[in-house]
Amino acid sequence: MNLEQKVYKKLLDVPKGKITTYGDLAKAVGLKNGQRIIGKIMNKNPYPIIIPCHRVVMSTGKIGGYAYGKFIKIKILGDEGIEVKNDNITNFDKRLFRF
C-alpha cells in the first residue's frame, strides 16, 4: 500500500460530524511534520465524497483548502453538522477526532 492509500484509508476512520487536522492525519500514518504532504494528497483525492477530505482542517481551527473551493467545503461540513464561522470551525475541540 502506498502513502496516498494509507492516508485515504486512515481518513475513513473520521466519522461524519467530526474533523481531524492535517498534522494529526500525518502522525496517524507515521509522518512527522507531514501537514503539507497531507494537503497535497487531499488535493489529489480521486473520490472526495467517499474519502472525506473535507473533514481535514488546520490545527488552528481554520478550514484550510479544498480542491472544489472553500464554499463547497463549508457547505459539506455544514451538512454534517459542523458549523463554520469566518472560515473557522465552531467548537473546534469538541469536533476534533483523535486517532
CATH number at residue 90: 1.10.10.10
β-pairing verdict for 84-85 and 20-21: unpaired
Residues spanned by the domain of 49: 3-95
Candidates 70, 45, 68, 46; CA nearest to 57 is 70
- Count: domains in the chain: 1
* CA contacts within 13 A on the Cβ side of 82: 28
Whether residue 3 is predicted with pLDDT greater than 90 in this model: the reply is yes
CA distance 84 to 12: 22
pLDDT at position 1? 85
Q: Any catalytic annotation for residue 53? A: yes
Q: Which of 42, 53, 63, 84 is catalytic?
A: 53
Per the CB < 8 A criterion, the answer to whether 55 and 7 are in contact is no
pLDDT at position 49? 81
In tens, the pLDDT along 32-55 reads 999 999 999 999 999 988 999 999
What pTM did the predictor assign? 0.94
As separate numbers, helices (DSSP H) first and strands (DSSP E) second, the chain gives 5, 4
Residues of the chain with pLDDT > 70: what percent?
A: 100
